Structure 1
Amino acid sequence: MRRDELEGAVREALSHQVAVARPLSADPAGQAIRRAKRIRRRRTGAGLALAAVATVLVSTGMAQLGGDPGRQGKPVVVIGDPNPSGRPIPSATVTAAAPTSETPVDVLAGATLIGVSGGRLELPGVGPAERAHLLPSGGWLVVGAPTTAGRSLWVAQHDGLVQVLLAGAGSIVVAPDGRQVAWRDGTGLLVAGVVGTQLIGPVRTPVPGKAEPVRFIGDNVLVRLDPDGPGHTLWRPGVGELTAGSDRSTLNVYGALPDGRLVGQVSTDDPAKTCLAVLDPKRDLKPVLTGCGPELSPDGAGAVSGDGRWLLVNGWVGKTSGSLLVDLRRLGQDLTAVPAGPPVSGEVAWRTESEATYVDGAGKLVQVNVDQVRTGKVAEPVSVPGVRPGDRPVLVTG
């Protein structure tokens, strides 16, 4: 790209205002599929050629990442197209809904989005995916599976546009509301806002060793100091650089309670034993309430229900592994866990305060009903309709 072309792109970016996102509809995937049918075939080119330029689009223009002395290896590519309407881009294709292929949640299998109504939306160039997250505007953010070149992040809009936002990144996490993204880049950790097809206003901080982001806690980023050991800290972007706190016992964090405190797995003096704890994010994740009993898996898979009552987490009952249902209101008392289904693989989507869905190790959907599990009825996995061999389904969360 010549210098005059780059300057022109900057002026173009500054001249466009960001549109306000519309509220979600009741069936985002279904709405997207219907809208995609109306997309004209003019979007057939290779608009991802911008990825050849290792740049980051910020709210004030373009900044080169390749010269960062703290980076190691190839630079991360961050792409933001200020005016996609005038560029050739790949568009989605649609397959009509099959009446018998409904799923309890939206699912991404390979490059195919399967909606709750059974409709299928092909997203060219996406995948293989590790996670998929619904955007406030009705599109999706898709986090790629790790490769030797790093991870990628795609945005797929409801009008069929598919575009790369990140390429060659380390760990990538998306905020629950889909409005922010954090990722590891060399020796740095970055956070940026998501607006349309752009990452805007990135903020960067140095990170030590193998530290990586694991989730958003409000507007803050929870960072695991070492993937192979306990210890987390919170980074508050815009307030200061990341500093390692005093926590050296937290192994995994599963989510937040309504009062903002966190639920996590902590290590004990016994290397073979872990416990559940309520953690105070205002005091370096200090445990304020601890309960031991069920044997928990160290894989970190699990999630807290929206009302903070239930935790679905991997563990063992005797020698049998599976997902366990824990009543968090009894944490610190007679903590017990009941078998809920096969082990969780990937994300858990709490659809209501008493119903959760996840994918097991065989790529099948598991629907957990709290009332049924409490009566001893373990959830049974079912196949995702229409998934091609080799395409592992990923739940759409958010």
Structure 2
Amino acid sequence: MIQSQEPSTRRRRLIVVGAAVAVLATAGVVVALLRSAPDLPRYDAHPVRAAPAAPQPVDIVIGEELFTTDGRRITLPTGAVLADRVPAGWIVRTYRGVDGGGLWLIAGDTVRELVADAADAADAVVAPDGRSVAFRQGNWITVAAVTGDGLAVRHRTRVDGTDLAQGRRGVILHGWVGDTLLLSHVNPSHAADDGDGLWDPATGDYDGTPQPFAALHGSDHVLLGTVQRDGRACLVAVRGSASKPTLGPPACGIDVMAHFEHAVSPDGRYVLGLGSGAGAPMRLYDVARGVPVADLPARQAEPVWLTADTVLTRAGDGQALLRVSTADPGHPVRIPLPEPAAGRWSLVARHGVPV
């Protein structure tokens, strides 16, 4: 039988009950760590289908094909929607409607399914160094190492409250802060149960934050979250430490909607995102000064930073890239796509792989 205990501070540690199971309950979050969780099923690798193509400034997914910086055109698994470049290759996320999604790995000349039943492929988050990934399957969160041969499970944690029939969504994975994960627990039927915090998979420690209600992926050890200050949404830097998460000073002159995965520049100085008002443009902000730098003829899409000074995003007509320099953001450079895009396409973020 699993029992839980409620320590008096917001910082919690998983409490061992018996030899195999530990439980944590805090700020509406209930997680149980199964210390002897079985490994994931191992799927066979298959030859990847690829053809030569013109090299691109960044890897691009168009339909179910990947156009790469080294001049390849790779056929992706059916239902591919997003990809991430990692040292081992590419992690590809697929979506199958009500059946959820999956994760795949393209490494060298092979493609291998990693997870066949991820609850939501878009909910998977790759670590900044590209050597770990966290994802959700039903009421389980798994953290696994990424190698050229697939995944090796490091930690697996059960999270209560994912029964959609009862209006609970359970935990949302926002991203990594160093070696910890920023999580949100959402219960639409009882907002008082909502909470946010940093969870360390290795130790089970969970540190509550003053509830940033959204997050933008930043550099290796920082995320930007949004918090309410005097009725305004303000951006704050969320950093992990050995003792507790820390929040930087709020920047309240930024009305960007915080939902783009890679909107923050590597040095945390700039953020590119969609304004929160109706018909708002894509806008580049200086986070330190809390002011807009430039409005861009761009379309709502995940941006990708090549360097701390250069970002790529999607042109307003959806048929080209825009390369924006922070030194001259008023004059973005238009770069044609490798082929016309009739439907969805996306840029591929890089994790632990230099440009």
Measured at CA, do residues 359 and 226 of structure 1 come closer, stay the same or move farther in structure 2, by a change above 3 Å? farther
- The counterpart of 1:190, out of the listed 128, 142, 145, is 142
- The counterpart of 2:282, out of the listed 291, 310, 323, is 323
- Paired amino acid for 2:324: V
- Which residue number corresponds to residue 143 of structure 1? 93
| Aligned: 1:80 with 2:42 | yes
CA contact (8 A) 1:96 1:120 kept: yes
CA contact (8 A) 2:51 2:74 kept: yes
Task: Report how many residues are paired.
Answer: 298
SS at match of 2:186: coil
- Which residue number corresponds to residue 175 of structure 2? 215
How far is 1:217 from its partner? 1.8
- The counterpart of 1:254, out of the listed 216, 230, 233, is 216
Distance in 2 (alpha carbons) for counterparts of 1:352 and 1:128: 30
Structure 2 gap segments, 5+ residues each = 1-31, 33-37, 162-169
SS at match of 1:254: strand
Distance in 2 (alpha carbons) for counterparts of 1:353 and 1:199: 30
How far is 1:325 from its partner? 1.5
Moved more, 305-314 or 276-285: 276-285
- Which residue number corresponds to residue 91 of structure 1? 47
Measured at CA, do residues 299 and 198 of structure 1 come closer, stay the same or move farther in structure 2, by a change above 3 Å? closer
CA contact (8 A) 2:226 2:235 kept: yes
TM-score (norm 1): 0.65
Correspondence 1:194-205 to 2 at 5 A: 194-205=146-157
Measured at CA, do residues 308 and 294 of structure 1 come closer, stay the same or move farther in structure 2, by a change above 3 Å? closer
CA contact (8 A) 1:77 1:166 kept: no
- The counterpart of 2:310, out of the listed 350, 355, 362, is 355
Distance in 2 (alpha carbons) for counterparts of 1:298 and 1:140: 25
CA contact (8 A) 1:152 1:169 kept: yes
How far is 1:220 from its partner? 1.4
- Which residue number corresponds to residue 235 of structure 1? 199
| Aligned: 1:267 with 2:232 | no
The two structures, once aligned, show a CA RMSD in angstroms of 3.1
CA contact (8 A) 1:253 1:263 kept: yes
How far is 1:306 from its partner? 1.7
Measured at CA, do residues 203 and 301 of structure 1 come closer, stay the same or move farther in structure 2, by a change above 3 Å? closer
Distance in 2 (alpha carbons) for counterparts of 1:337 and 1:251: 25
Correspondence 1:20-169 to 2 at 5 A: 78-80=40-42, 89-98=45-54, 102-123=55-76, 126-137=77-88, 139-145=89-95, 147-159=97-109, 161-169=110-118
SS at match of 1:296: coil
SS at match of 1:90: strand
- Paired amino acid for 1:103: Q
SS at match of 2:313: strand
- Paired amino acid for 1:136: P
How far is 1:357 from its partner? 1.1
Distance in 1 (alpha carbons) for counterparts of 2:112 and 2:280: 39
- Which residue number corresponds to residue 278 of structure 1? 237
- Paired amino acid for 1:220: T
Deviations 1:108-140 (A, max 9, x none): 2233221235432234xx143332122313x21
How far is 1:264 from its partner? 2.1
- Which residue number corresponds to residue 206 of structure 1? 158
Distance in 2 (alpha carbons) for counterparts of 1:78 and 1:312: 37
SS at match of 1:148: helix
TM-score (norm 2): 0.72
| Aligned: 1:297 with 2:257 | yes
How far is 1:290 from its partner? 1.1
Hey, which of these two has a bigger chunk of strand by percent?
2
How far is 1:359 from its partner? 3.5
SS at match of 1:289: coil
How far is 1:392 from its partner? 2.5
CA contact (8 A) 2:58 2:348 kept: yes
- Which residue number corresponds to residue 25 of structure 1? none
How far is 1:172 from its partner? 1.5
How far is 1:227 from its partner? 8.6
- Which residue number corresponds to residue 174 of structure 1? 126
Deviations 1:77-118 (A, max 9, x none): 94325xx6xxxx5322332334xxx43201122332212354
- Which residue number corresponds to residue 345 of structure 1? 301
CA contact (8 A) 1:108 1:396 kept: no
Deviations 1:38-90 (A, max 9, x none): xxxxxxxxxxxxxxxxxxxxxxxxxxxxxxxx9xxxxx994325xx6xxxx53
Measured at CA, do residues 107 and 201 of structure 1 come closer, stay the same or move farther in structure 2, by a change above 3 Å? same
Q: Bigger relative contact order, structure 1 or 2, given CA contacts below 8 A and separation 6+? A: 2
